[in-house]
């Protein structure tokens, strides 16, 4: 393994950590309808658990309504039940071949709770990125120990890893700031 391999691995893993955080924050309910908020709900279908996005089309025709159209009409009831049992506080209504989900506006108290959750999720993302940095630093020290790296090269590589880490933590901070702004919109 070379320094370039370690740096490349760091970037790939950190990008995945940022993407995971982005997906988790997108699923947090803001004041307006967003298909992402229910797309990861687990539905019992075909004797297994599947994500809602794999079983139906989810659309938001306006800011206060989501429409779920299952591809298999026998799944209307299991989907309705899964949405109802999710901890999102939504009340789906079956309308023939589709499910309508009205999205009520959020109270100030609920908005503040969601901001706390968003901050916790983004901190988990930052912790993940720092763990990746720690792993990569250990890999670099192994390279130095095995005489594949001089002290100066090690120092340069460690600075580069820190620079990459700072970039990805900044990305998470930006995603969080955007989500907080979105949550506080009335």
The answer for residues whose C-beta is within 8 angstroms of residue 131's C-beta and 6 or more apart is none
Same structural domain, 114 and 83? no
- Return the pLDDT at 67: 93
Same structural domain, 113 and 176? yes
* Tens digits of residue pLDDT in 26-68: 877 776 788 888 888 899 988 899 999 999 999 999 888 999 9
- Return the pLDDT at 186: 63
- Say whether pLDDT at 21 is over 90: yes
Task: Indicate the number of domains in the chain.
Answer: 2
Same structural domain, 171 and 135? yes
Percentage of residues in the chain having pLDDT higher than 90: 50
- Return the pLDDT at 8: 93
Q: Which of 83-87, 126-130, 170-174 has the lowest mean pLDDT?
A: 83-87
**Cα distances (angstroms) measured from residue 93 to each of 28, 52, 80, 101:** 21, 16, 7, 6
Of 45, 72, 102, the last residue of a domain is 102
Of 102, 119, 135, the last residue of a domain is 102
For residue 16, tell me if it sits in a domain: yes
Pairing of strands 93-95, 65-70: unpaired
Same structural domain, 123 and 174? yes
CA 124 to chain CA mean position, Å = 11
Three-state SS sequence of 116-132: HHHHHHHHHHHHHHHHH
- Return the pLDDT at 161: 95
For residue 31, tell me if it sits in a domain: no
Structural domain of residue 61, as residue ranges? 36-102
Of 48, 79, 102, the last residue of a domain is 102
When the pLDDT of each residue in the chain is averaged and rounded to a whole number, the result is: 89
The DSSP code for 145 is H
Domain with residue 80: its CATH number is 3.30.1360.40
For residue 156, tell me if it sits in a domain: yes
Same structural domain, 69 and 161? no
- Return the pLDDT at 176: 95
For residue 159, tell me if it sits in a domain: yes
Total-model pTM: 0.73
Q: What is the mean pLDDT of residues 115-126?
A: 93
Same structural domain, 85 and 146? no
Same structural domain, 125 and 79? no
- Dihedral angle sign, alpha carbons of residues 176, 178, 184, 186: negative
Same structural domain, 7 and 61? no
């Amino acid at each position: 393994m070379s320094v370039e391999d370690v740096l490349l691995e760091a970037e790939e893993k950190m990008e995945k950590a940022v993407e995971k955080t982005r997906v988790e924050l997108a699923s947090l309910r803001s004041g307006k309808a967003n298909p992402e908020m229910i797309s990861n709900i687990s539905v019992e279908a075909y004797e297994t658990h599947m994500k809602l996005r794999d079983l139906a089309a989810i659309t938001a025709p306006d800011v206060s309504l989501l429409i779920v159209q299952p591809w298999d009409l026998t799944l209307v009831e299991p989907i309705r039940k899964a949405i109802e049992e999710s901890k999102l506080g939504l009340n789906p209504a079956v309308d023939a071949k589709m499910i309508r989900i009205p999205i009520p506006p959020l109270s100030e108290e609920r908005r503040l709770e969601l901001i706390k959750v968003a901050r916790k999720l983004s901190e988990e993302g930052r912790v993940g990125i720092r763990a990746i940095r720690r792993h990569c630093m250990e890999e670099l020290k192994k390279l130095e120990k095995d005489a594949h790296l001089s002290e100066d090269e090690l120092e340069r590589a460690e600075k580069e890893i820190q620079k990459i880490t700072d970039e990805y933590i900044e990305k998470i901070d930006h995603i969080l700031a955007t989500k907080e702004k979105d949550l506080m919109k009335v």
